[in-house]
Amino acid sequence: MGRVGHLARDIRYEMQLGKEDGVRFVFPVPKRIAGSGDQLSDLFDISPVSDYRTGSLPWLLKTLRPSQEPSAWQVGRRIDIYPVTGPPRIADAVAVAGLQAAAENRRRAVLLVLSGDEKDASTYDAARVRRYLAALRVPLVVWTLEKPASGSPVEAWGPSQDISLAQTVYKAAAELRDLLDSQRIVMVDGRLLPQSIALSLQAAGLELVGVTP
């Protein structure tokens, strides 16, 4: 897909979102919100959920463009994102996306798409945000629109996939779906204390999340 956005029709439809899939966008430039007294807070815009009726994942990425409204970006025809002017804070936005994904209690991943030459004015660095998402059990997937140069800031995000060709974006999307399909979230109903639940020896490949030993 790269910067052009063209995909063969059969590939495009194979990457259509499933009926249980949902995509949110987090714009990496926050709004400054005044609080009580002299306190100021930064709030990142999180878009509504885009589902299978909107289109495929590559289509959503391709249609991200300036909106007709001032200082807004639009995804397709349905979703407007309203950033403010300022330097992007990519790592901070990734942390917000991870927290949002974890709060929804469903299969999840954060997908970070970079051009390879972004500047980042975040409070936290990429390594710390990666550890934060790992603690939340939210996988981080990084795509780049071209192969990053040696020493590029992209390297701080760990392994990445170059999606500049149709074949590579198809492969990357398939791996992302496999990652989501491999996840299982089990909710236990009953009057049970979390620390009283333990795994048997037969529970290979499973782990308890959020239980303090």
Strands (E), the chain: 31-34, 40-43, 64-66, 73-75, 79-81, 110-114, 140-144, 161-162
Domain annotation covers residue 193: no
Tokens for 36, please give them: 């009580």
Domain annotation covers residue 133: yes
Q: Is the pLDDT of residue 190 over 50?
A: yes
Mean pLDDT of 99-106: 90
Domain annotation covers residue 195: no
Domain annotation covers residue 50: yes
Domain annotation covers residue 203: no
Q: Is the pLDDT of residue 174 over 60?
A: yes
Rounded Cα distance between 101 and 109, Å, is 7
Domain annotation covers residue 37: yes
Contact 104, 137 (CB under 8 A): no
- Determine what percent of the chain is predicted with pLDDT higher than 70: 73
pLDDT (tens digit per residue) in 31-58: 777 766 666 677 888 888 888 777 666 6
Report the pLDDT value the prediction gives residue 65, as an integer from 0 to 100. 54
Q: Is the pLDDT of residue 213 over 50?
A: no
Name the residue with higher pLDDT: 123 or 207: 123
pTM score above 0.95: no
Handedness of CA 51, 57, 59, 62 (dihedral sign): positive
Q: What is the CA radius of gyration of the chain?
A: 19
Phi first, then psi: give them for residue 81, nearest 5 degrees: -120, 130
- Neighbour-count burial of 75, counting CB atoms closer than 10 A to its CB (0-12 exposed, 13-18 middle, 19+ buried): buried
Q: Is the pLDDT of residue 100 over 90?
A: yes
The C-alpha angle with vertex 86 and arms to 27 and 131, in degrees rounded to 5, equals 50
Name the residue with higher pLDDT: 165 or 213: 165
Task: List the domain range (segments joined by +) for residue 155.
Answer: 9-186
Domain annotation covers residue 81: yes
Report the pLDDT value the prediction gives residue 107, as an integer from 0 to 100. 92
β-bridge pairing 161-162 and 140-144:
parallel
Task: Identify the CA nearest to 130 among candidates 120, 118, 142, 121.
Answer: 142
Name the residue with higher pLDDT: 202 or 98: 98
Rounded Cα distance between 140 and 74, Å, is 24
Domain annotation covers residue 1: no
Number of domains in the chain: 1
Confidence of residue 129 (pLDDT cuts 50, 70, 90): very high
With tokens 């980042």, the residue in question is 120
Report the pLDDT value the prediction gives residue 212, as an integer from 0 to 100. 46
Task: Identify the CA nearest to 174 among candidates 19, 11, 33, 65.
Answer: 11
